[in-house]
Chain A
Amino acid sequence: MRIPCPYCGWRDAQEFAYLGDATVERPDPAAADAPARFHDYVYLRENPAGPHSELWRHSAGCRQWLAVRRDTTTHEIIAAEFVRGRGARR
């Protein structure tokens, strides 16, 4: 598989580290229901058949964390962007 790093260009997946679902957002640890929300954040992941957003880090290249949109049934890479600048919170 090859991933189009926005900085480095197309690179082999072997250069990247994988962290899974990019759609989960870290909850507010100060929230009243933080334990329940952290449980979901840490353990619950969608595993869709089809397009999915995933976290990949270009470890052997620019070391940026990317949100990669990948079709899990075909391994087609639909898009890749830096997670920084996506307006992540907390």
Chain B
Amino acid sequence: MFDFLTRFPPALVIPPGRYGAAGAGVIATRIEGLEIASLAAAPDRIEELRGRCRADFGLDLPAGPRRAAGEDVEFIGVGPGRWLALGGEGLEERLRSRLSPAAAICDQSDGLILFDLTGPRLRDTLAKGLAIDIDPSVFRPGDAATTAVALIGVTFWLLDEKPTFRFAVPRSYAPAFSRFLVASAAEFGCVVS
């Protein structure tokens, strides 16, 4: 068992620092300052919602597990008729004023914690928890998935080819997620910033 797993209590998100072997095979950064909201639309309102998004945000709501990003808002498909929206301050109100009642909108800014993960050994690390194929030939920038990693329900998407993956983790699961991540990246060297 790795020292940091016994050193930190299981209810704590592993704090910034360098863990495991020397090097920076994986770099994890907590992202703050983005607001998050969930959108849910009834099947017969999805087209209407899509039209409004196009008109008001200039974005096509993804029909599958993908990301559509504009200047001040982005949408991630998480299920049929369901999206996560991310954006700057006042997101919920902005969405509500333009998209309600075509969609039910709920603030999730405090319910989800965002982590950006990158590094040369990131895919090897994530393979220890993700049961889906994230090979660059299969999972491309803009692709998203909602799945379980180490028994934790997450939504993640690929931002760029570096690669940078952004993970949205339910708040109460953030400690367990951080423990899985740091333990899995330890052999490659893990930097939590």
Question: Is any CB of A less than 8 Å from a CB of B in the complex?
Answer: yes
Q: Which residue of B lies closest to A15 (CB)?
A: B148
Residues of B near A62 (CB, < 8 A) are 65, 78-80, 82, 146
Q: How far is the CA of A7 from the CA of B64 in the complex (A)?
A: 6
Q: How far is the CA of A84 from the CA of B148 in the complex (A)?
A: 24
Chain B interface: which size bin?
10 to 19
From 39 to 90 in chain A, residues with beta carbon under 8 angstroms from any chain B beta carbon are 60-64, 82, 84-85
From 38 to 61 in chain B, residues with beta carbon under 8 angstroms from any chain A beta carbon are 43
Say whether B80 contacts A61, CB under 8 Å: no
B127 at the interface (CB under 8 A from A): no
Q: How far is the CA of A71 from the CA of B16 in the complex (A)?
A: 50
Pick the contact of B65 from A8, A60, A84 — CB < 8 Å?
A8
B147 at the interface (CB under 8 A from A): yes
Say whether B131 contacts A61, CB under 8 Å: no
Q: How far is the CA of A8 from the CA of B80 in the complex (A)?
A: 10
Residues of A near B153 (CB, < 8 A) are 60
Q: Which residue of B lies closest to A6 (CB)?
A: B80
A14 at the interface (CB under 8 A from B): yes
What is B's interface to A at a CB cutoff of 8 Å?
43, 64-65, 78-80, 82, 131-132, 145-148, 153
18 A–B pairs (Cβ distance < 8 Å), ordered by A: A7-B79, A7-B80, A8-B146, A8-B147, A9-B65, A9-B132, A11-B147, A12-B131, A15-B131, A15-B148, A60-B147, A61-B79, A61-B145, A61-B146, A63-B82, A64-B80, A84-B80, A85-B43
